[in-house]
Every structure is written in C-alpha cells, then in structure tokens.
Copies of this chain bind each other. A is one copy, B any other.
Amino acid sequence: MARYQPGIRTEARIIAATGELLAEAGLDGTTLKAICDRAGIKAGSFYNLFSSKDEAVLRVVREAINAVDPHPEGSGPDTIAELVEAYARFITEQPVVARIYLQIAVRGGLTDNAMAARFLRHHEQRVRRFAAALAGDGAPDRSELIRAEVLVGTLNGLAFRWVLRPDFDFRTHLTAVPIDGRLAAGDVPAR
C-alpha cells in the first residue's frame, strides 16, 4: 500500500486508468501495459502498489458493484418504483461504472469464479430487495421472489442491450416494463 504522496497519487491514477479501460475496452483490452501507459508509469511501479493485475481490476469492480446501491439494504422503505428508478439512474448517470458492472457480470461469470460469485451475491441481494418491495409487509413468498427475479432480469436484459449499443434508450424502454399490472413509467417519481 502506498505510504508516501507519490505512491498515493500513482495508486489513484492506476485505479482511474483501470476503470476507464474496463469501460472502454472490456476485460480483454485492460492489459497491464494499457493500464500502465494510461497511468503514465512502468510495470514495476504498478507491482510496487498492487500484487497482481487482478487486484486492481477487482478493486474497480468492487467499487462499481457498491456504486449500484448507494444506500445499504434496509435503510429505507423501498418501493418497486424507487428500486427501478435507482437502477435506471445507475445506468444513465454512471454509464462508465454501469458498463464495468455488466461486463464483469457476464465476462467474469463465464471464466472467473471470484467475480461470478461476487456478482451473484449482489444479484440475489437485489432480487430479495425487489421481492420485499413486492411483498409490502411480511416476508416475500415464492411467487413474489419469482416476479422479482423476472423484473430484475428485465432490467438486466435492457441494460445488456444498452451495453451492446450505447445509443439504446434505456429510459424510454423502461416505460414499457410491466410492474404489478401497471407500467413502470407511471410509477417513477419525479426527480
């Protein structure tokens, strides 16, 4: 870990460079050389601060995952509309982080176990949260868990579509997502 000022600044530049590359070029494009070139350092400096390339990538991914839900679970009476809106804000207001999150979700899930596990844990947590909102009072039943999984699946599906082509209008399509018989658009509170 960095102790002196130069090291602290370098560490920050490495994290920034890694994040930008993950969003722009995906996991394949995020090579050690690319990170170092963008951060303006040599490989040796990188390994003075990080023990491996994966450490830097995981740091960025972890931050991206945490950025999805700013306030922790249970810290407020979530409604479905609020949860959907939070997802939409994540996509539209933090596109770089969102791209990292989704890329790692699928990419990491296919090959790397650590990333897949991390993403799945977070996914399940989110589904529980959606299910709780569907249930209102009391614990969600099986039907509500399934409906929550489908709703989160829809959001993820549209988000993947957006990753494939960034000009895909996530918000517009969100208005056609059915929630409890109504459409999401009508439920989204004004910002």
Smallest distance from the beta carbon of A75 to chain B beta carbons, Å? 26
Q: Are A173 and B150 in contact (CB under 8 A)?
A: yes
Closest to A148 in B: B176
Q: Determine the main DSSP class of A at the interface with B.
A: helix
Closest to A108 in B: B164
Is there a chain B Cβ closer than 8 Å to A29's Cβ? yes
Smallest distance from the beta carbon of A113 to chain B beta carbons, Å? 11
Smallest distance from the beta carbon of A96 to chain B beta carbons, Å? 14
Q: Are A158 and B165 in contact (CB under 8 A)?
A: no
Of A12-20, A47-55, A63-71, A99-107, the one contacting chain B is A99-107
Chain A residues 11 to 43 lying within 8 A of chain B, measured CB to CB, are 25-29
Is there a chain B Cβ closer than 8 Å to A116's Cβ? yes
Is there a chain B Cβ closer than 8 Å to A45's Cβ? no
Q: Most chain-B CB neighbours within 10 Å: which of A25, A158, A176?
A: A176
Q: How many copies does the complex hold?
A: 2
Given contacts A110-B163, A164-B119, A172 and B158 within 8 Å (CB-CB): no
Interface size on A, residues (CB 8 A): 40
Q: Are B107 and A110 in contact (CB under 8 A)?
A: yes
Smallest distance from the beta carbon of A99 to chain B beta carbons, Å? 9
Chain B residues near A105 (CB-CB < 8 A):
160, 164
Bound state CA distance, A155 and B161, in angstroms? 12
Question: Top 9 nearest A-B pairs by Cβ distance?
Answer: A157-B157, A153-B157, A26-B110, A178-B178, A106-B106, A154-B154, A156-B157, A153-B158, A109-B164
